[in-house]
Amino acid sequence: MVVHVLAKHETRVRFPSPAQKHGILTDVTSTIAKIVFRLIANFVAIQIAINYIAGVSFSGSLLDLAKAAGLITLLNIFIKPFLDFILAPLVFLTLGLFSLIINAIMLWLTTYWMPQLTFANWKALLLTTLILTFINYIFDISQQTEK
């Protein structure tokens, strides 16, 4: 509560909005920043994979590459948690290695909707998955140290 003294006998009391009171605006801004951060990480990872892995090709423009990174980000936000939940026993039995297969499925789904991104073989897909996972891990660590 903020009290403003306007005149000798007049005061005005201003109550914070519910969004300000509970920090909702801060939470939304933080969530949007995390999504944008993840989008940039995916863009960088795809660009590295295209440039350095034989068997990975991209036939679109830079805007199409940004769309592919956005699609990977959206798939990781909405579809991957569902797959993680359903396939949790396999991830547990393989000591987490099956999560790489889940990430490869996300990349494969991206190529389904973005035909400009192609993988010549499963090895190129797996190496791209490793790069994507590693770059996102580095971005996650850097984001945690900023707090």
DSSP summary character for residue 7 = S
Per-residue confidence (pLDDT) for residue 76, from 0 to 100: 93
Is 85 domain-assigned?
yes
More confident residue, 10 or 67: 67
Residue 55 CA to residue 75 CA, distance in Å, equals 23
Residues 6+ apart with CB under 8 A from 70: 39, 42
Is 121 domain-assigned?
yes
Q: What is the pTM for the complete model shown?
A: 0.77
Paired tokens of 115: 């035909």
Q: Please give the residue range of the domain that contains residue 34.
A: 27-145
Q: Is the pLDDT of residue 26 over 60?
A: yes
Q: Give the total number of structural domains in the chain.
A: 1
* Confidence tier at 115 by pLDDT (50, 70, 90): very high
Is 10 domain-assigned?
no
Is 11 domain-assigned?
no
Is 1 domain-assigned?
no
Per-residue confidence (pLDDT) for residue 19, from 0 to 100: 55
Counting Cβ atoms within 10 Å, is residue 87 exposed (0-12), middle (13-18) or buried (19+)?
Answer: middle
Is 3 domain-assigned?
no
Per-residue confidence (pLDDT) for residue 75, from 0 to 100: 95
Q: Is the pLDDT of residue 3 over 70?
A: no
Is 123 domain-assigned?
yes
Contact 113, 73 (CB under 8 A): no
Q: How many Cβ atoms sit within 10 Å of the Cβ of residue 139?
A: 18
For residues 47-66, average pLDDT: 96
Q: Is the pLDDT of residue 7 over 60?
A: no
Residue 114 CA to residue 117 CA, distance in Å, equals 6
Per-residue confidence (pLDDT) for residue 23, from 0 to 100: 60
Q: What sign results for the dihedral spanned by CA atoms 108, 37, 40, 131? A: negative
Per-residue confidence (pLDDT) for residue 17, from 0 to 100: 59
Indicate the average pLDDT of the chain: 86
Per-residue confidence (pLDDT) for residue 140, from 0 to 100: 82
Q: What angle do CA 88, 91, 97 make, to 5 degrees?
A: 155
Is 114 domain-assigned?
yes
More confident residue, 17 or 26: 26
Task: Report pLDDT digits (tens) over 68-99.
Answer: 999 999 999 999 999 999 999 999 999 999 99
